[in-house]
A and B are shown apart, each in its own frame.
Chain A
Amino acid sequence: MKTATTGQTAEQIALGIAQSELNKECNNTQERIDRAKARLRAAELRVHACQQDKLAAGYARQGTHPIYDGQAEVCAGKAAEAGSYADRTRAQADLIEAEAGL
């Protein structure tokens, strides 16, 4: 039996509905994969930020035991630099999560 408006048979309509459901499911799967990728990227960046924090802490520690004149200031500067890199890395992780709606 054909419908008056589109001229499609009932099987063709059912097939169309099934195809559309399948497409929706595929989109959902791809969406889930993209979200998982974004979550992983953000987590990797947070680990990287922790490494940068450790670097900053190392410089700060060295600065408390200077072995030449002015080393304390040099170390303090490097510690601040590494600390700001860590802040930037964390902000990048936040941005990735926000963009992916996590």
Chain B
Amino acid sequence: MLNTAQQRKHAELLRARDQSPEAQAVAAEIEARAELEDTEAERPVAVADNARMVEEYPILGKVTCEGGKLTEVEHPWTDADVKRIEAQGVMIAYQWCHDPMSGLRQGELIRIWIGTREAGPRVQWDHSPEIRGWSRLVSRGNYGRNWSHGGNWRSDKTRYTTLSEAAPDLSAIIRRK
């Protein structure tokens, strides 16, 4: 979580990068919230020199993002990785938060879906704190060409901490040497 000085820097970067009225309004909101927090804590107003956020995600490892933009990925998922797993009938889809309206959460990874050519979406990883973790999915079969996330599915309520618990076969295919 960013402190108020870093939140101001985040707002500054957001303003500079995105000229849309939404981004400007959200930047102003972030600054106003930081100001209120500082005033209540009787802290002087400060702007940090960076607004770096580091999150640890499955498959990708540590991901650094600044001002809503990805700056560093520990284990980037490359085209070669995509080809390798697609050859084995597995596909991964990542859902990133790009909406400026999400404020400080911009740049976060929201979900990961993994599916197979035969069964469609099989597992889903969720970032939200309440349901963080992996869950198994059962597709209705209408996934079309989007094996990882297409069509409709139902998920069971069980949460798994790691992919190898939720789907050991997929985990073995995805694991990089």
- Using CB atoms and an 8 Å cutoff, list the residues of chain A in contact with chain B: 29, 32-33, 36-37, 39-40, 42-44, 46-47, 49-51, 53-54
Contacts and interface: CB of A to CB of B under 8 A. Distances in A.
A46 B31 CA distance: 13
Contacts of B101: 47, 50-51
Given A50-B22, A50-B25, A29 B32 contact: no
Given A39-B32, A43-B28, A46-B28, 8 more contacts: A36-B35, A42-B32, A43-B32, A44-B29, A49-B25, A50-B22, A51-B22, A53-B21
A46 B29 CA distance: 8
A40 B21 contact: no
Interface of B: 21-22, 25-26, 28-29, 31-33, 35-36, 39-40, 42, 101
B22 A54 contact: yes
Given A29-B42, A51-B101, A46 B25 contact: yes
Nearest to A32: B39
Report, nearest first, the 9 A-B pairs whose CB atoms are least far apart: A43-B29, A36-B36, A40-B32, A43-B32, A50-B22, A46-B25, A36-B39, A39-B32, A47-B25
Contacts of A54: 22
Contacts of A40: 29, 32-33, 35-36
Contact of A33 (B22, B26, B33, B40): B40
Contacts of A51: 22, 101
A42 to B, nearest CB: 8
Contact of B36 (A29, A33, A46, A53): A33
A33 B39 CA distance: 6
